[in-house]
Amino acid sequence: MERALALPAPAKLNLFLHVLGRRPDGYHDLQSAFALIDLADWIDIERRDDGQLHRGGDVIGEPDADLALRAARLLQQCTGSRYGADIHVAKQIPAGAGLGGGSSDAATTLIALNRLWNTGLDRAQLAELGLQLGADVPFFVHGINAFAEDRGERLTPLVLAPAHYAVIWPQLAVSTKEIFEDSGLTRNTKATKISDFSAAADPVPQSLRAGGETRTEVLFGANDLEAVARRRFPVIDRVLAHLARFGAARMTGSGSAVFAAVASEEAARAAITGLPESWSGWVSRGLTEHPLRAW
């Protein structure tokens, strides 16, 4: 058995996000396309023989609410493992940005400890555990770009074209719960089919140069949470306006990060050059699968 691992926990983008309606359990029926990108947290995990779980590194909020630590506790409880772990997370994905950082940390922790503790669960079982931690966790556990439905946990694999993105976070943490509870949220978008998305969507913009002008195709659908977030947080509106100069721009998740699909790494770099000091920007590349999917 291995004793220690150092592993990535990549971020995701919502290429679109539609809210179809409110469910009897208080959650919402959603449709979205999840795309993995190479912006990632880094998790160092070492097995302990005393059963204790220690969380180190970058901790955002209360330690007991940390999703990586909660994932370790859940796996330990459900498998009866006698082992523990030292879990050190180096954060690159900001919290409250809609990039799935906490969910990805939880997924990588489950995958790593399943290996370090030799608990023998398959991906479907790990995903079922992950759903107890958050609706996005199963996506990161399965580790492939996906068309998501229901709360976001019913996943159909997607093959996405290679893509480059400029991602900007205005250093603002947005509460997903508050966005979904806003009375102005549109909750009646008509359901779409995966074939509609596949036929119409290409995350790589088709840039057509004629007469010195560049035209970029629009992204498929919409993010239904974007209007609420823009109204509540005008800085998101400003980030969208900035990125729209470089490509098709959209907020991811419940915000506050915004991305633009651009034609190249150079175009992405141009889009994040000269930002206000209060904004953070990344040049990101789309991933075909999670780095740990082959495990």
CB 255 within 8 A of CB 236: yes
Which of 124, 157, 190 is the last residue before a domain boundary? 157
**Do residue 137 and residue 181 come from a single domain?**
no
What range defines the domain where residue 70 resides? 4-157
CB 166 within 8 A of CB 205: no
> What are 238's two structure tokens?
């400003």
**Do residue 12 and residue 150 come from a single domain?**
yes
**Do residue 107 and residue 182 come from a single domain?**
no
pLDDT at 210 over 80: no
**Do residue 138 and residue 172 come from a single domain?**
no
**Do residue 46 and residue 132 come from a single domain?**
yes
> Is-catalytic flag, 193?
no
Look at residue 233 and tell me if it is in a domain.
Answer: yes
**Do residue 11 and residue 115 come from a single domain?**
yes
In order, the DSSP letters of 139-153 are HHHHTB-EEEEETTT
Which of 157, 191, 219 is the last residue before a domain boundary? 157
Instruction: Number of helices (H) and strands (E) in the chain: give both, helices first.
Output: 9, 12
The pLDDT of 21-32, averaged and rounded, is 92
The maximal CA–CA distance of the chain, rounded, in angstroms, is 69
> Is-catalytic flag, 182?
no
What's the pLDDT score for residue 209? Answer: 38
Look at residue 261 and tell me if it is in a domain.
Answer: yes
pLDDT at 105 over 50: yes
**Do residue 221 and residue 131 come from a single domain?**
no
- Alpha-carbon separation of residue 234 from 185, 227, 240, 286, 293 (angstroms): 16, 10, 10, 28, 38
pTM exceeds 0.85: yes
**Do residue 45 and residue 185 come from a single domain?**
no
Nearest in space to 280 (alpha carbons), one of 152, 120, 171, 125: 171
pLDDT at 178 over 60: yes
Q: Which of 38, 136, 177, 193 is catalytic?
A: 136
Residue 171's pLDDT band (cuts 50, 70, 90): very high
Which amino acid makes up residue 258? V
pLDDT at 202 over 70: no
The pLDDT of 50-61, averaged and rounded, is 92
pLDDT at 6 over 50: yes
- Alpha-carbon separation of residue 71 from 64, 85, 128, 181 (angstroms): 11, 12, 12, 26
Number of domains in the chain: 2
3-state class percentages of the chain: helix first, strand second, coil last, to nearest 5? 30, 30, 40
Return the ∠ at Cα 58 (arms to 270 and 89), rounded to 5°: 90
**Do residue 142 and residue 206 come from a single domain?**
no
**Do residue 152 and residue 14 come from a single domain?**
yes
pLDDT at 65 over 90: no
pLDDT: is 213 or 47 the higher one? 47
The pLDDT of 105-123, averaged and rounded, is 98
Look at residue 171 and tell me if it is in a domain.
Answer: yes
Residue 216's pLDDT band (cuts 50, 70, 90): very low
| Helix (H/G/I), strand (E/B), else coil: 127 | helix
**Do residue 99 and residue 190 come from a single domain?**
no
Structure-token match 């974007």, residue found: 226
**Do residue 149 and residue 20 come from a single domain?**
yes
pLDDT at 211 over 90: no
CB 284 within 8 A of CB 268: yes
Look at residue 294 and tell me if it is in a domain.
Answer: no
Which of 157, 189, 206 is the last residue before a domain boundary? 157
Q: Domain with 209 in it: what CATH number?
A: 3.30.70.890
